[in-house]
Amino acid sequence: MTIRYDGKVAIVTGAGQGLGRSHAIELAKRGAKVVINDLGGSKDGVGGSSEAAQAVVAEIEAMGGEAIANGANVAKYDEVEAMVKQTMDTWGRVDILVNNAGILRDKSFAKGTLDDFKLVLDVHLMGTVNCTKACWNIMRDQAYGRIVVTTSSSGLYGNFGQTNYGSAKMGVIGLMNTLAQEGAKYDIKINALAPTAGTRMTEGLIPEEAFALLTPETVTPAVLYMVSDDAPNKTVICAGAGAYSVAKIIETDGVWLSPEDQTPEGIAASWEAITSAEGEAQPQAGFEQTVKFTGKAMEGLGLTQG
């Protein structure tokens, strides 16, 4: 069955080039009306121009699709609100939000400034929060929404010189994990993309032959799946060079230590058992950890749960 988005309205942030442009064009090809949001700044977030966004709109219109350009800075909520109002005034709904906009200010933690750190958090994390917040009640009221946040292997696993970027990229995972629960009864699904693409952000970091394989177009199918009617929920899909995987946060089963062993020395002595992969699981909500730990304690103490 072909996945299409006829009658659906999508907002894609940072859609003037790279990944965002690819996402927007493919959504439009499959029937979505698309808002091309792009501040038009440099990769470190300086400046602004509507040319890139307008060019993507022209591309979409040339192939018979519908699109409008918007230059909102995702880090400024009033501008985001105005973008969503423009969308509603034009098409009357918002079905899909792809949070893609981002900047880089790479430096080791020792050398980086707090201003740069805050700016990266503002664009990646608060930008995602702002856009999602501005669309959330609309999606609730229409009982339908598909949201993608963009995370990164730099956040999931770490990357030298990217403490600011990595912090922001793990922040959106925390946002997703809770919003997936809050949006479930309204058919709002939220997933995360961890892309590896040969964009201006990654140029010069990997060999040229490998770089050539990392096209934005090989990442976009993951986004198209995540915003489809039958999308998963609360899932981190990794994509690059035509390869796709899922990243999961797992927790070991762990052990309960008797009161006399509840010491740092006791933890050290039981470390192998605490870190054992046997019985590890992927919790679906934070409360599951509480239930597991209290259950182990009750069992260890010989108490029965009433």
CB 50 within 8 A of CB 69: yes
256 exposed, middle or buried (CB, 10 Å; 0-12, 13-18, 19+)?
Answer: middle
CB neighbour class for 252 (10 Å; exposed up to 12, middle 13-18, buried from 19)? middle
Query: What are the E-state strand segments in 156-259?
Result: 188-195, 236-240, 243-247
> Which of helix, strand or coil describes residue 66?
coil
Structure tokens at 2: 């072909």
Strands 33-37 and 67-70: parallel
| Residue 165 known to be catalytic | yes
Rounded CA-CA distance 220/230 in Å is 17
**What long-range pairs does 274-279 form, CB within 8 A, spacing at least 24?**
276/252, 277/252, 278/253, 279/252, 279/253
Q: Which of 144, 165, 186, 225 is catalytic?
A: 165
Q: Hey, what are 27's tokens? A: 């959504």
Catalytic positions: 165
